[in-house]
Structure 1
Amino acid sequence: MELNLQRQTNGSEPWHAWYRYPKVGLALVYYDYHNPMLGRSYAATAYINKSFWRTRRQELNFRIGTGVGYFPVRYNPDTNHKNTIVSSALNATIQTRLEYDVALTQHLGLLLGLGLNHYSNGATTKPNFGVNLPTVVLGLNYHQQRPFRPLSTAPPPEPTDIGHTFWNLSSSVGWKQRNTTDHRRYWVNSVTLAVGRRINRKSSLVVGAEGFYDRSLLAQIQDTAQADSRLPDVKKAGVHVGHELLFGRLAFVSHLGVYVYNPYKSNNFYYERLGLKYHFTNRVFGSVDLKVHGGSADVVECRVGVRL
């Protein structure tokens, strides 16, 4: 079951018109898995809902959101050792959905959809195979106003920083569990220097260099190394290229990087990063990122930085 509260953007911010007036909302999601190993889950997801086709009575939308999920039943080596799917109470969630809405009355609409809900803790605790739920949606929408009417039909102003170059200096912290037998949490840090350029109303491109220090790798080496052997350096350095999809102060971040210094080959030579970035001021920003190696979560990074 799911309860949604969503607001139709109306042109009060320039980016509303650039994306053809999407909806933004909050979803409260409940699942009963009918399986004692998994139990139930509860989630809160913030999302954006983009219309691809809209008439007076019908809408076709694509929705994507992210938030936090709670699982009361999870992995326990003594009482629930078969649950290799969920090992922590709190998990990140990603929700995608294709929706069709058709008016039944002036305010009531029938909602049909196909979606995917994903839950994972980003390897902060293991085991962590995660949950993927393909979903068929049937529901009702209440529209306060239909059809939609923007505040103004005048073209929104262009951003003043298109074509401008900027620098970002940031640092991140995360923590992870090494395996199911070692219950300690290990800190993971990074420092990043990136240069970017806003190329249009919706996008910025970035190129950066960064260093990583994952303390779980040091513990991993020490478990297997001989007493008199020289341990390889677990620090890593990489370069990345990336894209930022802009929604006012908020941005969806995607990076692809390669390691240029990697003495301890604990993973692939490349990495990916997906995240949400928010500018608190024109200079200061924060983000929550998921760093991934070949589709397998490595660490959730909590990042703060300055724009120069």
Structure 2
Amino acid sequence: MGHLVKSHPQGFRASYLIHTNGNKYWQQLYAYPDIGISFSYQDYLNPTLGKSLCLMPFMQLYMHRGRVSNLLADFGIGVAYHTNPYHSKNNDRNVALGSHFSFSLNASLKYQLSISNVFSTGLLVHFEHYSNGGYKKPNSGANLLQGGFFINHKLKPYVKATHRQWEKVPLQEKEIYFTILPSFSLKELGIGSSIFPSYNLGVHINKPVSHISTLNFGVDAYHDIAIKKRISRKKPEEHIDHKSLAITGGHELMINKISFVTQVGYYIYRPYKDLYREFFQRYSLRIYVNPRLAVSGGLKVYLGKAEHVEWGLMFKL
């Protein structure tokens, strides 16, 4: 990666935000956050890497809300486009970005100071990560740690916000419930090789502990065709099973009809061990269509090394 780090990238981020006022109960639980969407542009000042453009929905939390100043944190997940990804003939030195499109994970910490009824400014520290989730190789990914300043302009003059105050709502769903998550993924095990699917099934026990937090524990089974093809090429005489089974546990954070799931897993059955470690992590985004059905997308990684992105439907029993 050393040949790619030749300069300090430069860029900008433009965002549109809407303030929440507590018209829904979950907004009070998060201290009335802002919901927004942003567009960012990064110029790596390195022709090998090119430029990156990213579109990202995000949520901005108030860590401290003052009369003229605020301490803010935001996070989001988006989609990025890279102008000059890896190409075996034209750009074989770009081992960080293997495809035009990738996912983006973003987080920022900001100090904001009001200077008028419509303008505010401040300083920020911003982290951004790009990865295609193992779909195309190479996929070392790009991590950007940025510092800068920002300027906000309100479309309406500032007035003191009126936030609805809710009575504490008792937690209605306290009982343990089961979920089933069938999913699939696509991945390329080596540069220039074919892309193969993996079929996955997760069965979990879930226990709500608050309006926004649920703990989960269960098992995940993998029927990985890419691993099967690799075994047939590398060790055809050994007849090693390509399937695997893992125990997983983690936490689901609810934000209205969207949730963020973080999990850790450990393989209890995995005959083929040449590629990945025993422990893995999964970071998922779920969008609930109704209380018993959600669309899920999850990134499975090994301490930063992505294996694949899992797409599926979660059914609540």
Choose which of 145, 162, 167 in structure 2 pairs with 1:150. Answer: 162
What is the distance in 1 between the residues matched to 2:221 and 2:310?
13
Report the CA distance between 1:145 and its aligned residue: 5.5
Cα separation, partners in 2 of 1:243 and 1:261, compared to 1, 3 Å: same
**Alignment partner of 1:180 out of 179, 182, 191:** 191
Q: What is the DSSP-based 3-state SS (H/G/I as helix, E as strand, rest coil) of the residue aligned with 2:230?
A: helix
Amino acid at match of 2:268: V
Of the structure 1 ranges 150-159 and 122-131, higher mean CA displacement relative to structure 2 is found in: 150-159
CA offsets 1:36-75 (integer angstroms, 9 cap, x no match): 1111111101111111111121110011111000012111
Is 1:225 the equivalent of 2:235? yes
TM-score, normalising length: structure 2 = 0.92
Change (3 A) 1:75 1:21: same
Q: Secondary structure at the match of 1:255?
A: strand
Aligned to 1:200: 210
Corresponding residue number in structure 1 for 2:41: 30
CA RMSD of aligned residues (A): 1.4
Of 150, 156, 172, 1:160 maps to 172
Q: Contact 2:258 / 2:285 at 8 angstroms: preserved in 1? A: yes
Question: Number of aligned pairs?
Answer: 304
**2: CA distance between counterparts of 1:49 and 1:151?**
16
Q: What letter corresponds to residue 214 of structure 1 in structure 2? A: D
Further displaced range: 149-158 or 74-83 = 149-158
> How big is each residue's C-alpha offset from its partner over 1:229-260, in whole Å with a ceiling of 9 and x where there is no partner?
23110100111111001112211101111111
DSSP 3-state at the match of 2:57: strand
Q: Which residue of 1 aligns with 2:86?
A: 75
2: CA distance, partners of 1:73 / 1:122? 18
- Name the counterpart of 1:277: 286
Cα deviation for residue 96 of structure 1 reads 0.7
Identity %: 25
1:89 shift after superposition: 0.7
Q: How does 1:1-308 map to 2 (within 5 A)?
A: 1-143=12-154, 144=156, 146=158, 148-161=160-173, 163-182=174-193, 184-226=194-236, 229-266=237-274, 267-308=276-317
Runs of 4+ in 1 over 6 A off after TM superposition: none
Gap change, CA 1:249 and 1:237, over 3 Å in 2: same
Which letter maps to 2:91?
A: N
The Cα of 1:158 is off from its aligned counterpart by 3.5
Report SS of the residue matched to 1:113: strand
Q: After TM superposition, give the deviation of residue 148 of structure 1 in Å.
A: 4.9
Gaps of 5+ in 1: none
Would you say the 8 A contact 1:14–1:156 is kept in 2? no
Q: 2:79 & 2:129 partners in 1: Cα distance?
A: 11
Residues 269-301 of structure 1 deviation map (CA, whole Å, 9 limit, x = unaligned): 121101111211011111110011232101000
